[in-house]
Amino acid sequence: MFYHGQMESLYAVNLDVIFLILPLKMDRNTIIGFSLIFLILVIYAVYAPPPTTNSGNSTVTSDTNSVKKAGKPTLADTANLRDTFKSAANEKDSSLLKTIYGGFSQYYGGTPKEVTLTNASVSVTFTTLGGRLNQVKLNQFKRADSTALILLDKKHTNFYYEITTKNDVLRSDKFNWEIVSHSPESISFRLDNGNGGYIEQKYTLSKQDFLLDYSVKVSGLENEFQRNNDLKLVWKSFLHKQEKEMQFENQHSNISYRVSGEHPESLSSTSPERLERIPGNLQWIAFKQQYFNATLINKEGFAQGCNLEWKETREPGYIKDMQAELYLPYSREKEKSWNMSFFFGLNSYKTLQAVNPGFADHELHRMIPLGWGVFGWVNRWLVLPIFNFLDGKIGSMGILILLLTLIIKFILLPLVYKSYISTAKMRILKPEIDQIKEKYGNDMQKIQVENLALYKKAGVNPMSGCVPMLLQMPILFALFQFFPVLFELRQKSFLWSPDLSAYDSILEFGFHVPGYGSHISLFTLLMTISTLIYTHLNNQISGVTGQMKWIGYIMPIIFLGVLNDYPSGLTWYYFVSTMVTFGQQFAIRKLVDDQKLHQQIADARKKPVKKSNFSRRLEEVMKAQQQKTQPRKPGGKK
């Protein structure tokens, strides 16, 4: 008969045997040997006498009512047997955990508790399992679907330390930490090794908006760590979809970071990327979305060798999988502390500039992509200051964009005026240019020489119309990058658009039109129509013909499809800009007298032409090219 205690021993021994023989090479002798051992154990279990009852220590009872003499065991017998197995397994696990984790083992596993710290800006939920934060909610904002804006959620957020001890790697999120202090503004968690050593994590809501102060302290654990082993911190989180349009949120979601003494950088936002062993002193790392970010800041800097990575995620409702492996410098000091901060908030240039995590030159605001090179300069030193000035005085974002457009167009007015005058003079000279073209036919070099001579004689520079237009291009492209990342437009309504940071749809098709989309954006449509009308009037003023005339009509049609999904704040700006240009040109046409332009050209023709060295060399090159292309006469003469 098999007694409970014998079954328990057989069960435990067999598990140990299996774990021992798995790594071995199973030859014939090994199999025979273990078979004999197993047979001996079975014989022993059958014929050995039942254990004597010990009223104090034994977990097994010899009560004849608990074991039936006949047939199959009852349900009660099965339950007792299962409890016995569970108790044995727990005893074995406890012993193994103590061997591996020492005094820390008493906190392994268990039922976690949750605690939340909250203020007007954020609500941060912590769990005792790891003494870590596991959810962050921004109290003042909503997702595009009007649900609560959870920046980091419990299901897909992890934050833990890996401590390489003499026996194994201890992961802090596998242990149930003690809460040693708790107030409405702060909470402290401690993991004790039973010998006076401990790790303590403290979180305190700062008086600054969106800032959570965070400190880690290690005391009396110098003998627990391997020699010269930095404290490894792992932070992982899936980014939840927050906005209406996945396309732009995906484009602007990535990992940003800053190495001390350098400007912030970002991983690619278009294809998964892993950056390994970052050199230098890493000061902060941000899981950044289109309009929000979760950032860990370390004033003293993380140790070298940090790794950053993001991967695609197919889970519905999420955008990207962010991962960071960071290292806190630790040389087995008896006591060591690290002071850090979390920022959970919005990607607002003003807000990020005002953050004070303990050092002034953090450059957190530079994680907002305002454009590279000259486009970034235009946004930072021209567009953004004007916008910030108006933002404190104008309640409607749509009206603010209107005023911003008027100010920018006023600044550009001298260039527009100069471009118009140049275009008007070219229109006056067009009949003579046409005569030259008709006279010389397909001889393009001769036509260029004659045109250049005509321009010089009339005092007209054909490039004077192009240069002002080129000088306006950086502003045009800068604003193309400015509006899609402008937090202040988020969920701000204007006219028929409920959200200036998303496209304005007046009609949903229910199907996708290639090259256009599944809806009609009215601001984009108005922008396209106004641009086509402007192109038509401008062609009449300039007298342009041929292919260039039709290119002017094709481009607005292309942009109708390109900008259909773009933020309505951007297309509203382009529409207003086109209408203001109409007004400027109308006013200039009223102020400029074409007869005076004719007279200026006539007076210029009476003056002797002064050729610059560049013009002289250009004419010489053209004449030399013309002579080379002239047909040779019989006898070798031209």
What pLDDT, in 10s, does the model give residues 498-529? 999 999 999 999 898 988 989 999 999 999 99
Query: Does residue 66 contact residue 28 with C-beta atoms inside 8 Å?
Result: no
pLDDT at 358: 83
Average pLDDT of 216-226? Answer: 85
Q: How confident is the model at residue 429 (pLDDT cuts 50, 70, 90)?
A: confident
Helix H or strand E encompassing 428 = helix 413-440
11 or 95, which is more confident?
A: 95
**How far is C-alpha 109 from the geometric centre of its chain's CA atoms?**
34
As a whole number, mean pLDDT of residues 84-109 equals: 62
Which residues make beta-bridge pairs with 240? Answer: 318
pLDDT, tens only, 147-190: 999 999 999 999 999 887 777 788 999 999 999 999 999 999 99
pLDDT at 2: 37
Residue 446 binned pLDDT confidence (cut-offs 50, 70, 90): confident
Contacts of 236 (CB under 8 A, 6+ apart): 156, 157, 158, 159, 321, 322, 323, 324
**CB contact at 8 A, 153 and 135:** yes
Judged against a pLDDT cut of 80, whether residue 53 lies above it is answered with: no
How much is the pLDDT for 225?
Answer: 76
pLDDT of residue 91: 45
Domain architecture of the chain: domains with CATH: 4-53+60-104 (no CATH), 109-369 (2.70.98.90), 378-599 (no CATH)
Backbone angles phi, psi at 129, to 5 degrees: -75, 90
Residue holding tokens 């008086």? 207
Helix (H, G, I), strand (E, B) or coil at 206: coil
Check: CB of residue 121 under 8 Å from CB of residue 351: no
Average pLDDT of the chain to the nearest whole number: 79
Token pair for 557: 């049609």
How does DSSP classify residue 347? -
Per-residue model confidence as pLDDT tens digits over 584-605: 888 888 887 777 777 767 766 6
> Which DSSP symbol is given to 107?
G
Q: What are phi and psi of 301, to 5 degrees?
A: 90, 150
Q: In DSSP terms, which residues pair with 259 in a beta bridge?
A: 282
The three-state secondary structure class of 68 is coil
The H or E element containing residue 551 is helix 547-562
- Residue 65, pLDDT score: 37
| Residue 260 exposed, middle or buried by CB count within 10 Å (0-12, 13-18, 19+) | middle
Return the pLDDT at 403: 96
pLDDT at position 350 is 92
Distance in angstroms between the alpha carbons of the first and the last residue of the chain: 124
Q: Is 428 exposed, middle or buried (0-12, 13-18, 19+ CB in 10 A)?
A: middle
* Between 373 and 132, the higher pLDDT residue: 132
d(CA 179, CA 317): 34
Q: Which of 553, 587, 556, 548 is nearest to 574 (CA)?
A: 556
Q: Does residue 400 register a pLDDT over 80? A: yes
Q: Given pLDDT bands bounded at 50, 70 and 90, which one contains residue 396?
A: very high
**Residue 297, phi then psi, degrees to nearest 5:** -115, 130
Q: What is the mean pLDDT of residues 540-565?
A: 78
